[in-house]
């Protein structure tokens, strides 16, 4: 941008911005458009707008009466349309003024929905691949209107001249580019044809491409959108939509969901992904506006929880951003997002009601997405919570089946807690659900809303130990000395030791220790270390009796029955440490450094004892 000479503008006088066109084109290429390839989309959009205006001027004309013709032979790229054309005044107003809409100002309000974009900025995108733009146009508004030629150059200069009507016998506009050498990647005939199909395959006006070899022009959009066609049977329609989804996205959909929102002129399909998608990964969706591809990565068209589908839609009333590569976030887009979300909910409801096999395959792949939805959506919760799979002491099963077997459903607060108690709880006949995964604990607690006869409670150590059988008094007394040695050895871990009988007999010991209990012991230890200081006073005020872990030895296990008879103090301590270490590893929680050291030490001590005994 340059400033005018101050000598020619007295102080306080209005001044006019002077635009450095080369700088502006550089700005567009690096910050507005994602790639130089958009030049062809912009030219095609301008042509579509011109055709829309031509049809408004001549309503009786059939939709395919006027079209768009593309030409590229390696030396030039040309886009020709049979649209409304431009007068000389239009050329001065719209081609030489950046950002001015190519639609007549007095008609913008009532016709804005009929057009896609703005001529000024769109035409500037051509400077991404060419140094000169040649426009030849003839207006359809005035009979015998002369042809008008406009030449714009990358240095910001342009020329306009009027030519005889014979220079362009029919109304419409032709834009010709002479590509720069460094733009060959985007202007080769094969690339131009590919870009035209990429952007314009769903356009409602006929578009043809000619590569200059003398053959007949190839159709860019030979067929209408698949959802707009008629089919002999519903099955044929479903297969055609699935085939289109596979062509566009590269996977065979688990199912296709038709999308139709007449209020905004939106039609399309949602393709259900056949495989699990990591939670939170959002896929981009293909959004066309009036047939022209706007974006392949429009995440904003669906809510975050709908990451199990990919959509391709064509809409009339969605508003593009200035780059026309994404959607403008406004009330219309928000309403469309909500309406499409409702269509997905309706599809899930139909599958639950009438297609159990499809629902099963869907939940196998996408149960996490449905769980995230069910947490916030009562309707989905009522429909699908009984069908959702959970990890339980009966294996992976649905809550509906699990609740029929277990009157009280217990749920853990973490994965490690479930793994710690699963085998013992199962042998004791307790029904426990792993609540450590995202959404699971919250959903299990909502089961009584769907099944009032079901009871749900959090699993705590007391519940589990209450279901373990005590040993007889004589056995308890015989093991008392060993248990005392074991408690003394494990006091450093705030761990008590008890003797019980439980299944499976192959499990020598069970370590019952919740994450909350470990945190409380850590806080208490910190308070003791900080005693007398400011933090000690604060933590001391919060101090309460810290819950202790419990190492429960299984009297049914042969190894434990042998261990409790040990009368050598050091060997008793070592065996207790080894049993604690093995139980800690089986719990699959992260080991503290002191526990890792204990496991190594107890193993070496037991090995040394065995070697001494053998010698």
pLDDT in tens, 150-202: 998 877 788 999 999 888 889 999 999 999 999 999 999 999 999 999 999 99
Contact status, residue 282 vs residue 307, Cβ threshold 8 Å = yes
- Which run of H or E residues covers position 189? helix 189-200
Q: CA-CA distance, 200 to 539, in Å (whole number)?
A: 68
Residue 138: φ, ψ to 5°: -140, 130
% of the chain at pLDDT higher than 70:
82
Contact status, residue 258 vs residue 241, Cβ threshold 8 Å = yes
Q: CA-CA distance, 339 to 326, in Å (whole number)?
A: 19
- Cβ of 317: how many Cβ atoms within 10 Å? 16
Contact status, residue 207 vs residue 200, Cβ threshold 8 Å = yes
Token pair, residue 156, equals 């910001």
Angle at 254 between CA 250 and CA 256, to 5 degrees: 85
Regions of the chain where pLDDT drops below 50: 1-4, 6, 99-120, 538-539, 542-544
**Tens digit of each residue's pLDDT (9 = 90 or more) over 374-392:** 888 888 888 888 888 899 9
In the chain, what is the straight-line distance between the N-terminal and C-terminal CA atoms, in Å?
94
pLDDT, residue 110, reads: 40
pLDDT, residue 614, reads: 63
pLDDT, residue 595, reads: 85
- Cβ of 160: how many Cβ atoms within 10 Å? 15
* Nearest in space to 392 (alpha carbons), one of 421, 364, 356: 421
pLDDT, residue 4, reads: 47
Contact status, residue 171 vs residue 113, Cβ threshold 8 Å = no
Token pair, residue 376, equals 């916030």
pTM of the model: 0.69
What are the DSSP calls for 56-99, one per residue? HHSTTS-TTSS-EEEEE-SS-EEEEE-S----HHHIIIIISSTT
Helices vs strands, H then E, count in the chain: 23, 22
Contact status, residue 134 vs residue 32, Cβ threshold 8 Å = no
Q: CA-CA distance, 361 to 601, in Å (whole number)?
A: 50
Token pair, residue 54, equals 């031509």
State the SS3 of 568-604: CHHHHHHHHHHHHHHHHHHCCCCCCHHHHHHHHHHHH
User: Hey, which bits of 335-394 come out as E strands?
Assistant: 389-392
pLDDT, residue 388, reads: 87
Residue 117: asked if its preceding bond is cis (omega within 30°), the reply is no
pLDDT, residue 590, reads: 77
Q: CA-CA distance, 254 to 243, in Å (whole number)?
A: 12
pLDDT, residue 108, reads: 36
Q: How does DSSP classify residue 481?
A: H
Q: CA-CA distance, 83 to 44, in Å (whole number)?
A: 11
pLDDT, residue 113, reads: 43
pLDDT, residue 262, reads: 94
């Amino acid at each position: 941008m340059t400033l005018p000479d101050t000598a020619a503008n007295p102080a306080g006088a209005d001044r006019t911005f002077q635009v450095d066109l080369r700088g502006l084109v550089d700005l567009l290429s690096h910050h507005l458009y994602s790639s130089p390839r958009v030049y062809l989309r912009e030219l095609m959009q301008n042509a579509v707008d011109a055709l829309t205006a031509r049809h408004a001027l001549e309503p009786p004309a059939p939709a395919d009466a006027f079209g768009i013709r593309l030409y590229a032979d390696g030396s030039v790229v040309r886009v020709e349309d049979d649209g409304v054309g431009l007068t000389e005044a239009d050329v001065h107003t719209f081609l030489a003024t950046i950002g001015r809409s190519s639609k007549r100002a007095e008609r913008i309000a009532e016709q804005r929905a009929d057009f896609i974009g703005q001529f000024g900025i769109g035409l500037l995108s051509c400077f991404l691949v060419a140094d000169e733009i040649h426009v030849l146009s003839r207006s359809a508004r005035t009979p015998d209107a002369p042809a008008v030629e406009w030449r714009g150059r990358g240095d910001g200069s342009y020329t306009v001249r009027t030519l005889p009507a014979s220079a362009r016998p029919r109304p419409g506009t032709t834009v010709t580019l002479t590509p720069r050498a460094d733009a060959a990647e985007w202007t080769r005939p094969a690339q131009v044809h590919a870009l035209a199909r990429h952007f314009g395959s769903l356009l409602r006006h006929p578009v043809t491409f000619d590569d200059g070899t003398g053959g007949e022009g190839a159709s860019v959009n030979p067929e209408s959108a698949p959802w707009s066609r008629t089919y002999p049977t519903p099955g044929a329609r479903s297969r055609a939509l699935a085939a289109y989804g596979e062509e566009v996205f590269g996977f065979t959909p688990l199912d296709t969901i038709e999308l139709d929102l007449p209020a905004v002129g939106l039609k399309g399909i949602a393709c259900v992904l056949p495989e699990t998608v990591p939670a939170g990964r959002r896929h981009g969706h293909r959004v066309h506006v009036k047939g022209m591809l706007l974006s392949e990565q429009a995440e904003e068209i669906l809510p975050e929880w709908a990451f199990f589908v990919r959509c391709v839609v064509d809409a009339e009333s969605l508003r593009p951003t200035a780059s026309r590569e994404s959607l403008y976030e406004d009330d219309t887009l928000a309403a469309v997002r909500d309406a499409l979300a409702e269509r997905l909910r309706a599809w899930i409801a139909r599958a639950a009601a009438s297609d159990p096999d499809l629902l099963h395959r869907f939940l196998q792949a996408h149960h996490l997405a449905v769980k995230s939805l069910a947490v916030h959506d009562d309707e989905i919760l009522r429909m699908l919570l009984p069908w959702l799979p959970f990890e339980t002491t009966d294996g992976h099963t649905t809550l509906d089946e699990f609740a029929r077997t277990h009157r009280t459903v217990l749920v853990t607060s973490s994965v490690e807690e479930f793994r710690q108690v699963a085998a013992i709880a199962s042998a004791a006949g307790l029904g426990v659900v792993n609540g450590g995964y995202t959404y699971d604990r919250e959903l299990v607690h909502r089961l009584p809303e769907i099944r009032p006869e079901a009871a749900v409670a959090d699993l705590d150590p007391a519940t589990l130990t209450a279901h373990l059988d005590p040993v007889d008094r004589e056995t308890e007394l015989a093991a008392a000395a060993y248990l005392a040695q074991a408690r003394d050895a494990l006091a450093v871990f705030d761990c008590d030791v008890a003797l019980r009988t439980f299944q499976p007999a192959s499990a020598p010991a069970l370590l019952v220790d919740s994450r909350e209990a470990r945190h409380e012991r850590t806080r208490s230890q910190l308070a003791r270390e900080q005693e007398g200081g400011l933090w000690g006073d604060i933590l001391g005020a919060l101090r309460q009796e810290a819950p202790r872990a419990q190492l429960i030895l299984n009297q049914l296990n042969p190894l434990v029955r042998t261990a409790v008879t040990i009368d050598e103090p050091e060997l008793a301590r070592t065996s207790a440490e080894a049993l604690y270490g093995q139980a800690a590893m089986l719990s699959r929680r992260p080991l503290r450094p002191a526990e890792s050291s204990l496991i190594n030490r107890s193993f070496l001590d037991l090995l040394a004892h065995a070697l001494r005994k053998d010698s």
